[in-house]
Amino acid sequence: MKPQLKNAKPFLRWAGSKKQLIPILSQYWDSSYNRYVEPFAGSASLFFNIAPSAALLSDINVDLIATYSQIKNNLPAVIRSLYKLKKSPENYMRIRAMDPSKLSPSTRAARFIFLNRYCFNGLYRTNRAGIFNVPYGGDRSGDLPNKLHLKACSTCLKTARLVSCGFSTTLEAVVPGDFVYMDPPYSVKAQRVFSEYDASVFSEKQLKLVKQWMRKLDRKGIPFLVSYASSNEGEFLSKGFYTQVVSVKRNIAGFAANRRRSDELLISNVHPSKEGEIL
Rounded-to-integer distance, Cα 188 and Cα 204, Å: 9
Tell which positions 46-105 bind ligand SAM, by CB under 6 A: 59-61
> What do you get for the CA distance between the two ends of the chain, in Å?
32
Binding residue for ligand SAM, selected from 9, 42, 68, 150, defined by CB under 6 A: 42
Binding residue for ligand SAM, selected from 8, 13, 29, 45, defined by CB under 6 A: 45
Edge to edge, the sheet with strand 242-251 lists 160-164, 55-59, 35-38, 178-182, 224-229, 259-268, 242-251
Rounded-to-integer distance, Cα 40 and Cα 98, Å: 27
Shortest distance, CB of residue 72 to ligand SAM, whole angstroms?
Answer: 17
Shortest distance, CB of residue 39 to ligand SAM, whole angstroms?
Answer: 6
Tell which positions 9-38 bind ligand SAM, by CB under 6 A: 14, 16-18
234 binds ligand SAM (CB under 6 A): no
185 binds ligand SAM (CB under 6 A): yes
167 binds ligand SAM (CB under 6 A): yes
Binding residue for ligand SAM, selected from 36, 112, 197, 228, defined by CB under 6 A: 197
Shortest distance, CB of residue 86 to ligand SAM, whole angstroms?
Answer: 27
Specify whether the CB–CB gap between 44 and 14 falls below 8 A: no
Instruction: Collapse the DSSP code of 178 into the 3-class scheme (helix H, G, I; strand E, B; otherwise coil) and give the result.
Output: strand
Shortest distance, CB of residue 166 to ligand SAM, whole angstroms?
Answer: 4
145 binds ligand SAM (CB under 6 A): no
User: How many alpha carbons fall within 13 Å on the CB side of residue 264?
Assistant: 24
Rounded-to-integer distance, Cα 92 and Cα 255, Å: 20
Residues sharing a CB contact under 8 Å with residue 46, sequence separation 6 or more, in sequence order: 18, 22, 25, 26, 29, 38, 181
Give me the sign of the Cα torsion angle 227, 231, 233, 235: positive
Q: One symbol per residue from 203 to 232: x for binding ligand SAM (CB under 6 A), - otherwise; what is it?
A: ---x--------------------------
Shortest distance, CB of residue 262 to ligand SAM, whole angstroms?
Answer: 14
Specify whether the CB–CB gap between 121 and 254 falls below 8 A: yes
Q: Which is nearer to ligand SAM, 29 or 197 (CB)?
A: 197
121 binds ligand SAM (CB under 6 A): no
Q: Which is nearer to ligand SAM, 70 or 116 (CB)?
A: 116
Binding residue for ligand SAM, selected from 100, 166, 254, 272, defined by CB under 6 A: 166
Residues sharing a CB contact under 8 Å with residue 97, sequence separation 6 or more, in sequence order: none
Query: What's the count of helices (H) and strands (E) in the chain, helices before strands?
Result: 10, 7
Q: Which residues bind ligand SAM (CB under 6 A)?
A: 14, 16-18, 39-40, 42-43, 45, 59-61, 166-167, 183, 185, 197, 202, 206
